[in-house]
Structure 1
Amino acid sequence: MGQTLTGLLTSVRAIAGRPGTQTRARPGDGPDPGLLAALRHCGDHLAALAASGPLTDARRTRLIASIGALTTACSTPGADAFDALLRTGQQALDSGGDAGARLALALADEATALRARSKGAWRLRGNALDALGRSEEAITAYERHLALQQNTAAARDIERRIATLRAAGDRIDEALALVADGNGGTDGAGAGAVRLSRRLPAAEARVAFTELVRLRTTERGAADPAVRRLAALYAEHRRLSDRDLMADPLLGGAEPIGVPGLRRFLAGRTVCLVADTPHTAEREQRPGSSLAALIEGYDLVVRCDAVRHAAPTARTDLHAVTLRGDSPWQGPRWDRRATARLVFGDPLPHWRLALRSRLVPGAQDRIGDATLRRPLHDPALLAEAADADGPASTAYTVLRLLDFLGTPARVDLIGFEGPAALPPREREWIGARTGTTDDTAVRITLR
């Protein structure tokens, strides 16, 4: 990686340092000066990475690969490198840290200068400013994105983020009003000396808010009504710093369930786990289908992950999904209607953020809590060591959990053949517990 990084840095500097880059190039004369400026920013970032020692972070590795793709696009005659520029900015943001966010912002600035009506460029700028804690500037960029965004569903996340940033700022404004309401603290000493503002970077605002609460509590005592309100505003501000507002905080009345609740939900019921394949879906949807009748005969129907082939109206009593990738909270929202939904994932902060970002209010009646997020490896449940062959499939995780709970009357697998067949070690576990196999329905019945 060291040689690759050094070689890429040389290429970036060679392209970005071409003469005549301060004037806008004519079509066909080479990369736009804005792209060359973006490459110079990337070169500076690569130089800092090279000086920091060996790279073991996968996110930074992906950023380096993205910079390589941008470099290739900029050096290819006639190529449109704008999309590569946005992808590099997003990878810089995903790489984490202030340095990554600053690179993303620099690339977003070049992108918005190149194409002022690019909704992707304005969203990248808003995300970068947001990551740097520059909330008021982020709101302005997000609003420019919304003015260009035609997709209502895609706009909802940004609208919610703007509402969260504004709500956090409103808590600061109300706190300042409490301090300056004529009850003291405005004489340059004590709480009134704290410099708190909604325009402060987020990290500085948190420190200033903390100091304001500490000083006012010392001055007035914790029993003072204004101090209690100030403490409440502080708690709300910290909560808004960690998570976005939700249109429906109770998720449409969904009930969180843990291991005891799931055990009761399954008790005495027949369960079938249906594979999501084109063949199975076609047979299930066929008028008068024997497979549809078979599935309908179970008390609970389980489907896993992104259900792409079954009809949106296909019955789903339990939907299970496994979080994968470094940013699992950025996937499609879970809008398939299900009686209960289980989300498997680790680490805990990623799992919580994914639930806040991807659950759809009203799409489930029950949602598995944190005690059910990693059943295979949780010491309170199966407590197995992580498998060297890679993470388990969602179907296998569900089966192991059902087997551990032991309350379903019967568990069957339907359609898990051919491309839908589980990995060998998972098939081996199932084979040791198979009671009967029905070739007509492609059904495996576990003991």
Structure 2
Amino acid sequence: MGQTLTGLLKAVRARTGQGGTPRPEPTAALRLCGDYLADLAAGGALGDAGRTGLVSAIGGLTTASGTGGDGLFDALLRTGQRALEAGGEAETRLALDIAVEATALRSRSKGAWRLRGNALDALGRRDEAVQAYERHLALQQNPASAEDVRRRIAALKDLRACLEEAAELLPGEDGTALRALHNAPAGQARTVFAEIVRRHTAEGGGMADPAVRRLTARYAAYRRLLDRDRMADPLLGGAEPVGVSGLRRTVAGRSVCLVAGAARIADEERDPDGPLGKLIDGYDLVVRCDALPAAAPRTDVHAVTLRGDTPWTGPAWGHRAGTRLVFGDPLAHWRRSLRARLAAGAQDRVGDASLRRPLDDPALLGEDGWGTRTTTAFTVLRLLYFLDAADRLDLIGFGLPGQLLPREREWVAARATHEDETEMRTALR
């Protein structure tokens, strides 16, 4: 990777007129990326996937810089987003610098203003982040797409209100220190606020003191907002959590089919005169996995697997489903993804933490060796097979290439009781 990084650094410097033939006046973004790569190269090998993705994006930006137009601007925003996702302080500052240039180049780009708001937010510069978010909202024409930004603005204003209310309880230096935390990095804000609460709890007679209780309540509210963003509807439109027993009751005595996500299956199912749609519609429960097109037919159970370093940044799960099962680890990422991506009213039941990693959970299946690459389809299939409650369990379309991994296909073949190539159906029970 070291040689690749060095070569990319030379390419960036060539684009900006450093160390070679003079070039036209460079963009500030390329100079900033060159400086970042130089510092990164001096630090040795890359240590995480986030930085690797950023270096790849910088390579794309370098290539696009010779083309201009929308392609170059898109590459600029993509590089800023990868810098933000990398998560380090240097990378976040690079994201902000890129966003500042992007908003200067196109002052009416809603994507550039959102990137700028996100970077300022991540750096703890919350008042400036609100201003950038509000510029984004002024340009955003799609109300649904703007809802999460409105929610974030409200959360930032609530954070300030928590600090103001706590500061009013503590006149003097501590009150001033609390107000200053609104535009401080999250780690510093946590530490300083916690220390002030500890000191006043010890000096003020503990929780028996009403003022201390109010201060502690403000601290608790502040930490919740700082660590977990607001949800548009915490009750998700009345959706209920469902565990292992609840899922077993849902499928007990019913016919269940798991439908492959192949394009051929979707096309044949939508054919009003085709037999496949009628076959699938005859089951009591239809199970589908991962990304669902807006026009997808009935989905009674929707299963998804969290992928990548920041799975909570994916699109919302807005397609209607009776039950939604989300598989993922670690627990903190799973919880954050549910808060960010579940859509109120889009499901009646949501799988709880007992169902988030059924294959390797020792309290459930506890089977070793499947690994993180296991397909969502096999995970939900193995779970349903383990529950042993469905009257009938069939696979539709999984004989097509690419639907299951080789070891998963072997597992299915060893347990299949019937196969019908005409119907593309494999029966397991």
* Structure 1 equivalent of residue 319 of structure 2: 336
Q: Which amino acid is the alignment partner of residue 231 of structure 1?
A: T
Q: Which amino acid is the alignment partner of residue 325 of structure 2?
A: L
* Structure 2 equivalent of residue 209 of structure 1: 193
1:354 to 325, 337, 343: 337
- TM-score normalised by L of structure 1: 0.88
- On the 8 A contact 1:320/1:343 being kept in 2, the answer is yes
* Structure 2 equivalent of residue 445 of structure 1: 427
Secondary structure in structure 1 of the residue aligned to 2:233: coil
Q: Which amino acid is the alignment partner of residue 323 of structure 2?
A: A
1:284 aligns with 2:269: yes
1:238 aligns with 2:215: no
1:250 Cα deviation from its structure 2 partner: 0.9
* Structure 2 equivalent of residue 104 of structure 1: 95
* Structure 2 equivalent of residue 407 of structure 1: 389
Q: After superposition, where does 1:262-341 map in structure 2 within 5 Å?
A: 262-287=247-272, 289-308=274-293, 311-312=295-296, 314-341=297-324
1:347 Cα deviation from its structure 2 partner: 2.1
Q: Which amino acid is the alignment partner of residue 348 of structure 1?
A: L
1:378 to 361, 364, 371: 361
Q: After superposition, where does 1:28-67 map in structure 2 within 5 Å?
A: 33=26, 35=27, 37-67=28-58
Q: Which amino acid is the alignment partner of residue 428 of structure 2?
A: L
1:409 Cα deviation from its structure 2 partner: 1.8
Q: Which amino acid is the alignment partner of residue 434 of structure 1?
A: A
1:368 Cα deviation from its structure 2 partner: 0.6
Secondary structure in structure 2 of the residue aligned to 1:384: coil
1:281 Cα deviation from its structure 2 partner: 3.0
* Structure 2 equivalent of residue 129 of structure 1: 120
- On the 8 A contact 2:312/2:338 being kept in 1, the answer is yes
* Structure 2 equivalent of residue 22 of structure 1: none
Q: Which amino acid is the alignment partner of residue 247 of structure 1?
A: A
The worse-fitting range, judged by mean Cα deviation, of 72-81 and 237-246 is: 72-81
Secondary structure in structure 2 of the residue aligned to 1:367: strand
**Distance of 2:158 and 2:369 partners within structure 1:** 41
The runs of 5 or more residues in structure 2 that have no matched partner are none
* Structure 2 equivalent of residue 81 of structure 1: 72
- On the 8 A contact 2:169/2:175 being kept in 1, the answer is no
Secondary structure in structure 2 of the residue aligned to 1:418: coil
1:80 Cα deviation from its structure 2 partner: 5.5
**Distance of 1:402 and 1:142 partners within structure 2:** 44
1:78 Cα deviation from its structure 2 partner: 7.8
Secondary structure in structure 2 of the residue aligned to 1:272: strand
- On the 8 A contact 1:375/1:401 being kept in 2, the answer is yes
- State the identity as a percent: 62
* Structure 1 equivalent of residue 9 of structure 2: 9
Secondary structure in structure 2 of the residue aligned to 1:163: helix
Secondary structure in structure 1 of the residue aligned to 2:14: helix
1:225-254 superposed Cα distances (whole Å, 9 cap, x missing partner): 222121111111111111211121011111
- On the 8 A contact 1:196/1:209 being kept in 2, the answer is no
Q: Which amino acid is the alignment partner of residue 9 of structure 2?
A: L
Secondary structure in structure 2 of the residue aligned to 1:222: helix
1:327 Cα deviation from its structure 2 partner: 2.2
**Distance of 1:235 and 1:78 partners within structure 2:** 48
* Structure 1 equivalent of residue 379 of structure 2: 397
Cα gap change, 1:219 to 1:343, in 2 (>3 Å): same
**Distance of 2:178 and 2:399 partners within structure 1:** 65
**Distance of 1:374 and 1:113 partners within structure 2:** 45
**Distance of 2:63 and 2:268 partners within structure 1:** 47
1:421 Cα deviation from its structure 2 partner: 4.0
Cα gap change, 1:31 to 1:298, in 2 (>3 Å): farther
Secondary structure in structure 2 of the residue aligned to 1:412: strand
How many residues align? The count is 425
The worse-fitting range, judged by mean Cα deviation, of 116-125 and 281-290 is: 281-290
Cα gap change, 1:39 to 1:415, in 2 (>3 Å): same
Q: Which amino acid is the alignment partner of residue 90 of structure 2?
A: A
Secondary structure in structure 2 of the residue aligned to 1:164: helix
**Distance of 1:396 and 1:253 partners within structure 2:** 29
* Structure 1 equivalent of residue 138 of structure 2: 147
- TM-score normalised by L of structure 2: 0.92
1:284-325 superposed Cα distances (whole Å, 9 cap, x missing partner): 33336543333333221111111238x34x221111111122
The runs of 5 or more residues in structure 1 that have no matched partner are 20-28, 181-185
* Structure 1 equivalent of residue 184 of structure 2: 200
Cα gap change, 1:424 to 1:229, in 2 (>3 Å): same
**Distance of 2:369 and 2:85 partners within structure 1:** 26
Secondary structure in structure 2 of the residue aligned to 1:233: helix
- On the 8 A contact 1:196/1:208 being kept in 2, the answer is no
1:361-383 superposed Cα distances (whole Å, 9 cap, x missing partner): 11111101111111111122222
Cα gap change, 1:386 to 1:174, in 2 (>3 Å): farther
**Distance of 1:277 and 1:339 partners within structure 2:** 22
**Distance of 1:90 and 1:192 partners within structure 2:** 36
**Distance of 1:77 and 1:89 partners within structure 2:** 17
* Structure 1 equivalent of residue 63 of structure 2: 72
Q: Which amino acid is the alignment partner of residue 171 of structure 1?
A: C
**Distance of 1:279 and 1:124 partners within structure 2:** 38
1:349 Cα deviation from its structure 2 partner: 2.0
**Distance of 1:301 and 1:282 partners within structure 2:** 17
* Structure 2 equivalent of residue 430 of structure 1: 412
The worse-fitting range, judged by mean Cα deviation, of 215-224 and 401-410 is: 215-224
Q: After superposition, where does 1:168-207 map in structure 2 within 5 Å?
A: 168-180=159-171, 186=172, 191=174, 194-197=177-180, 198-207=182-191
The worse-fitting range, judged by mean Cα deviation, of 204-213 and 78-87 is: 78-87
* Structure 2 equivalent of residue 183 of structure 1: none
Cα gap change, 1:31 to 1:174, in 2 (>3 Å): farther
1:62 Cα deviation from its structure 2 partner: 1.7
**Distance of 2:69 and 2:227 partners within structure 1:** 44
1:30 Cα deviation from its structure 2 partner: 6.4
**Distance of 2:328 and 2:69 partners within structure 1:** 44
Cα gap change, 1:47 to 1:279, in 2 (>3 Å): closer
